[in-house]
Structure 1
Amino acid sequence: MLADRVVLKGMFYGVGAGLCWGVIFLGPKLAPELSGAQFAILRFLCYGLICAVLLTPRWRIAYAALRREDWISLFWLSLIGNLLYYTLVGSGVQLAGVATTSLIVGLIPVLVALAGRNDDQAVPLRRLAPSLCCAGAGAALISLHTLQTGAAGQSAHIGPGLLCAFGALLTWSWFAVSNARRLNRMPGVSAYDWALLAGVMTGAQSLLLAIPLLGPEITHHDPQKWLSHLMVAGGVALLASLLGGALWNQASRLLPLALSGQVLVIETLAALLLGFVWEGHWPDAMQWSAIVLLVTGVVWCLRCHQARPQSG
């Protein structure tokens, strides 16, 4: 019973993180004048500044709890899981569209579940297979639908956009696995402090890239346009990076890796909903079928974990 409560609490945090992260796919659409890399840098500059302010009173405690290998992991997790991932997402959204990118990235749960199949408390792969197939079928169905209906007007961009989306899939799958395992090896560091430290690290990395990537664009847009870009990037940073990151770190500590990967389907659904609202139409029958498959995969996986035998 206690284990079930822990799983449900972890699911609550994971679903919250997924809902917050849904906005990351819409952000680049709201700033089409910026490339994926430029919008990523602007977002993480805002995120780094927010995290630096919040971390200031806790800096000594957080700093004392980290070892050298933790700082090295923090550097790579921030660079690959934040900057590189979101650069690829932003480029994919602008080149191939919100739906295509979000649904390819939506395959992350499949890769994460496969990566965690040998971890403690993980459900055997044969029991996870139906839910994985369900989620994978939903993602494949709606991806095929999006490609069929959208490729005609984007023939020059669809290829690079798909490469960016698949790159984002690989980078964040690696991040989800590595970040969860790093957190479990650092019992003295809170999930909240780790999220703030990652924000400061990513902000510092973005600052180094800001001049060569954003500098030439400063004179191309008027101050009002830059203010608009800054507000969009700041909103994404606050909601997705800060709140979503903190919720995800809590979920990573409470859920088996395979189940935490399944929860990421919520991010895909949130991104789809925002994308459909932004484009001003609702899903058709084929899209609804794919969404039902994705949700069924999540619920099915949750039941598998709740029903697993408990050790004394």
Structure 2
Amino acid sequence: MLSGVFFALAAGLMWGLVFVAPQMLPDYPAALLAVGRYLAFGLIALPLAWMDRSGLRALRAGDWLEALKLTAIGNFLYYLCLAAAIQRAGGPLPTVIIGTLPVVIAISANLLDHRRDGRLPWLRLLPPLLLIALGIACVNHVELRALGQAAASLDAYLQGAALALVALGCWTWYPLRNADWLRAHADRPPRVWATAQGLVTLPAALCGLGLLWLLQHSGLALLGTGFDFPLGARPVSFIGLMLAVGLFASWLGTLCWNEASQRLPTALVGQLIVFETLSALAYAFVWRGQRPEPLTLAGIAALVLGVMLALRVRPERNAD
């Protein structure tokens, strides 16, 4: 249990980096950030694959297909929506929406009837749900007030909220599906599964890069007419940040999460994503050079308290 919580904490600290990257490169389109991150992830996985070649050979075609599904939804689509949301609405709002994952995953596990870990009592989940809703309301109130209710800013804020909700859906599906595979293949090292997901991202990222090039040179100018494709105006910063995020947030973060997923019940490990939320909020405010307002701090406190209460709820085994 203790080692599982430690691995979840380490994953959260590294995953928090993905929330600040779009703010560090605001002039880079979200689609290019997503492709760049996972291209770096795939390249980093190549030498790691040589180290894990015996374990990778044991994976069947169905396993590779599962890794591709997890990558497409839990990596590409998730990060594309998240990066676009952060660039439109800023860091705190998407971070707090993603911060609802602990309880959303618990509810999803209940609705899907995960017989392996049992159900969480609905009545005991109600207080954490209300606290997390209160936390979101507090942070959103501060962010909307800061926008000054300007029409253009409000439109971008609402677009960011919608994109963050799509990202929330992607990362509700990913940990449940990923945990199912890991628990069904307890004999497989989590590192091998992390490397396998990295390998399947490489051809997908190359296809994405090629598609962006076609769209950029087809007259659509998806990345903007003045954008210097593919590295932009700050190539050193772009390459360095993508390599850092690809190594720490993608491969190492996935490895730590896989280790936690094999050690802890799905409903519990899903709630420990709160470490990612807290890290992301801290990174966002440090990057902005701002102190959180008291109402924002109250919202964060409500979020943390809600998740702490949810962690105290234990699954009830099914009678059958």
Q: Secondary structure at the match of 2:313?
A: helix
Aligned to 2:34: 40
Out of 52, 59, 65, the residue aligned to residue 46 of structure 2 is 52
Normalising by structure 1, report the TM-score. Answer: 0.89
Aligned: 1:11 with 2:5: yes
| Structure-2 change in CA distance of 1:214 and 1:252 (3 Å) | farther
Out of 17, 22, 45, the residue aligned to residue 23 of structure 1 is 17
Out of 226, 242, 247, the residue aligned to residue 235 of structure 2 is 226
Aligned to 2:271: 262
Out of 73, 78, 99, the residue aligned to residue 106 of structure 1 is 99
| Structure-2 change in CA distance of 1:221 and 1:128 (3 Å) | closer
Aligned: 1:138 with 2:132: no
Q: Which segments of 5 or more consecutive residues in structure 1 lack a partner in the other structure?
A: 1-5
CA distance in 2, matches of 1:106, 1:96: 15
Asked if the contact 1:98–1:272 (Cα under 8 Å) also holds between the matched residues in 2, the reply is: yes
Identity of aligned residues (%): 32
Q: Which amino acid aligns with 2:63?
A: D
Aligned: 1:169 with 2:168: yes
CA distance in 1, matches of 2:273, 2:232: 37
Tell me which protein shows more helix as a share of its residues: 1
Asked if the contact 1:138–1:293 (Cα under 8 Å) also holds between the matched residues in 2, the reply is: yes
| Structure-2 change in CA distance of 1:115 and 1:18 (3 Å) | same
CA distance in 1, matches of 2:134, 2:201: 34
CA distance in 1, matches of 2:15, 2:238: 18
> Which stretch has the larger CA shift, 237-246 or 55-64?
55-64
Give CA deviations for 1:38-60 in whole Å, capped at 9, x if unaligned: 10100111111111111112223
Give CA deviations for 1:58-89 in whole Å, capped at 9, x if unaligned: 2232221x223222211110011001100001
CA distance in 2, matches of 1:227, 1:245: 25
Give the CA deviation at 1:172.
0.9
Give the CA deviation at 1:222.
7.3
CA distance in 2, matches of 1:83, 1:135: 27
What does 1:1-312 align with in structure 2 at a 5 Å threshold?
A: 6=1, 8-64=2-58, 66-117=59-110, 118-119=113-114, 120-122=116-118, 123-150=120-147, 152-153=149-150, 154-214=153-213, 216=216, 219=228, 225-305=234-314
Give the CA deviation at 1:9.
2.4
Q: Which amino acid aligns with 1:38?
A: L
Asked if the contact 1:135–1:297 (Cα under 8 Å) also holds between the matched residues in 2, the reply is: yes
Aligned to 1:3: none
CA distance in 2, matches of 1:286, 1:262: 24
CA distance in 1, matches of 2:262, 2:39: 27
Q: Which segments of 5 or more consecutive residues in structure 2 lack a partner in the other structure?
A: 217-222
How much is the aligned-residue C-alpha RMSD, in angstroms? Answer: 2.3
Q: Which amino acid aligns with 2:55?
A: I
| Structure-2 change in CA distance of 1:171 and 1:151 (3 Å) | farther
Give the CA deviation at 1:214.
4.9
Number of residue pairs matched by the alignment: 301
